[in-house]
């Protein structure tokens, strides 16, 4: 499945109000990213990582990224391609490990 195919299927499950467009998925993304961090934190505390649980949380993160992109009329394939181009440029210029958005 491509990112765009995922986005199309995921958008059929988006049931939030138009008045909360952008806000709802942005807040959901922050919450789900926190849940991912909580699962990883338990690795420090308990010494174990529940990979299947983490996979489900990462799926929730992906859903909210997809919803936010849809609200902005951006397709996920473009998001992925733009990110790879940015990372490859940084790598080629030797600044992949530096600081700042525009390096």
Cα distances from 101 to residues 1, 3, 62, 75, 87, in angstroms, run 30, 24, 22, 21, 11
Pick 3-92's CATH classification: 3.30.9.10, 1.10.287.1080, 3.40.190.10, 3.40.50.11290: 1.10.287.1080
Provide the pLDDT for residue 100.
Answer: 75
- The model's confidence at residue 103, banded by pLDDT at 50, 70 and 90, is confident
Provide the pLDDT for residue 102.
Answer: 75
Joined tokens for residue 77: 């394939």
Cα distances from 38 to residues 29, 31, 50, in angstroms, run 14, 11, 11
Distance CA 2, CA 46 (A): 36
Question: pTM score, two decimals?
Answer: 0.91
Q: What DSSP element (H or E) covers 25?
A: helix 23-46
Distance CA 34, CA 98 (A): 25
**What pLDDT, in 10s, does the model give residues 63-85?**
999 999 999 999 999 999 999 99
Q: Is the pLDDT of residue 99 over 90?
A: no
Provide the pLDDT for residue 98.
Answer: 74
**What pLDDT, in 10s, does the model give residues 31-42?**
999 999 999 999
């Amino acid at each position: 499945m491509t990112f765009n195919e995922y986005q199309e299927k995921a958008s059929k499950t988006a049931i939030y109000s138009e008045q909360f467009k952008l806000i709802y998925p942005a807040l959901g993304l922050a919450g789900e990213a926190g849940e991912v961090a909580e699962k990883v934190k338990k690795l420090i505390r308990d010494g174990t990582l529940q990979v299947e649980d983490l996979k489900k949380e990462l799926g929730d993160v992906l859903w909210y990224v997809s919803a936010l992109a849809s609200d902005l009329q951006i397709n996920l394939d473009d998001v992925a391609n733009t990110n790879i181009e940015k990372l490859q440029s940084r790598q080629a210029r030797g600044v992949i490990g530096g600081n700042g958005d525009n390096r």
